[in-house]
Amino acid sequence: MRDSGDLRDLYSDLYEPGDEDLDAVVGVLHRSFRAASPPGRLRSSIAEAARARQQRGGWLPPLPGAQAQRLVPALFALLAVIVLGGATVAALPALERALTMNRGTKRIVLDDLGRKVSVTRPIGGYRITVGRVYADPNEIIIGYTVAAPRGAHVNSIDPFGELGRKNGATVETAPLLLDPRGREIPHGGYSWSSGVQNGEAGFVEEYDAAGLRDTRTPLQVQFLIGGLYVVQQTTGSQVQAHGKLACGPDTSPLRCVTLERRVVFDLSIPVTRGARIPPERVKVEGSGSVSVVHAVTAPTGTRVTLRGVSPRSRVRLIVGGEAVELHPDRAENRQAATPGARDYVTSRSFLDKRRGWAVVVSPLAR
């Protein structure tokens, strides 16, 4: 199944570069959050990851003593809430839950950016509704929900674009986004879900807007979903009535169902303006071989294109005295757009700070 999103971007404030034990803690917490009820196997995984992290020197990156004393108990409290009772954001609508999971897309909700829409298509009794669309010079965001049939007990839902075969296994692509000529706009590598609550889940898909030229007129696109992969509690006869039984022994109450039906949404997306920072205004520290190719900041985040960065490097962006981690972007076309360069991104926006930019490159700690 597809990755549910880059956890380093979703939880960038919790990560410490090179700390695999902390990666494990955040990973199992995220999987527990997405589950309808946290699976028992994850409880032991959380405990093991927590013990490993504590043995290596605590939970968090270095913090002033008083701040650490406040945050460590809070993190343990969050752990208990998620494992024992689920997250408390259930009161929010499903799409808002998904959008507010990321600091960048949270701005779409708080500042009422992009466009609210309400277009619904059915797939095998499930209803897919596109509810919010957004675009800027860095990314295109499609926010939508999937609602299960009334009375269905659904554990998870995973929309896909196309099904294919690779090395004898079935491979799913992300939902597709097409321009007016039918050309695919590459997926940006990030997607995530609020998890299923009350029979409904919210989803966010991010697509690459690096090739976007005209920001004065709305972007005309087609959003395409080829089907749903659903894990539900139901009888075999109900499964066969709604789709193909893909997995699960006959004795198990869980059924994995692949519902294949192509649905298309014609969307018009207004483009929110960003700001391009001239490369000569971005100072590079820590490496004489690294150069800045592009730097673009927008309401939902910032992208810096660098040439000459070693793969085993930590990259930070400092703007006006504020430092944030930059993570390698996963969109393949962004990496190929400028030969020998690579994009680094953060969900932090710096539209209010156009000067005092610096990129700091340092080796990753072993």
* 151 and 43 in a common domain: no
- Cβ atoms 102, 204 nearer than 8 A: yes
- Cβ atoms 274, 82 nearer than 8 A: no
Q: Is residue 327 part of a domain?
A: yes
Q: What is the pLDDT of residue 148?
A: 95
Instruction: Report d(CA 242, CA 229) in Å as an integer.
Output: 12
Tens-place pLDDT, residues 35-78: 444 444 444 445 555 555 444 444 333 433 433 443 444 444 44
Q: Model-level pTM?
A: 0.72
- Which domain CATH number covers 200? 2.60.40.1640
Residue 309 exposure: Cα atoms within 13 Å on the Cβ side: 30
Q: Is residue 2 part of a domain?
A: no
Q: What is the pLDDT of residue 329?
A: 79
Residue with tokens 């169902």: 257
Candidates 134, 131, 99; CA nearest to 274 is: 134
* 167 and 311 in a common domain: no
Q: Which helix (H) or strand (E) segment is 153 a member of?
A: strand 153-160
Q: Is 62 exposed, middle or buried (0-12, 13-18, 19+ CB in 10 A)?
A: exposed
Instruction: Report d(CA 155, CA 148) in Å as an integer.
Output: 10
Q: What tokens appear for 239 in the block?
A: 């499964």
Q: In sequence order, what DSSP letters do the residues of 180-194 get, joined into one string?
A: TTSPBPPEEEEEEE-
* 117 and 211 in a common domain: yes
* 174 and 228 in a common domain: yes
- Full domain range(s) for residue 27: 7-34+38-85
Q: Is residue 323 part of a domain?
A: yes
60: DSSP letter: S
Q: Which of 228, 250, 269 is the last residue of a domain?
A: 269
* 237 and 114 in a common domain: yes
Instruction: Report d(CA 293, CA 212) in Å as an integer.
Output: 17
- Which domain CATH number covers 329? 2.60.40
Domains contained in the chain, number: 3
Tens-place pLDDT, residues 278-306: 999 999 998 888 999 999 999 999 999 99
* 250 and 103 in a common domain: yes
Instruction: Report d(CA 206, CA 131) in Å as an integer.
Output: 14
Ranges of residues in the chain with a pLDDT under 70 are 1-91, 165, 213-214, 234-252, 330-338, 365-366
Gyration radius (Cα) of the chain, Å? 21
- Cβ atoms 328, 343 nearer than 8 A: yes
Taking CA atoms, 125 is separated from 166, 196, 260, 264, in Å, by 29, 16, 12, 16
* 23 and 68 in a common domain: yes
Three-state SS for 304? strand
Chain-centroid distance, C-alpha 259: 23
Q: What tokens appear for 312 in the block?
A: 């085993």
Q: What tokens appear for 66 in the block?
A: 């008083």
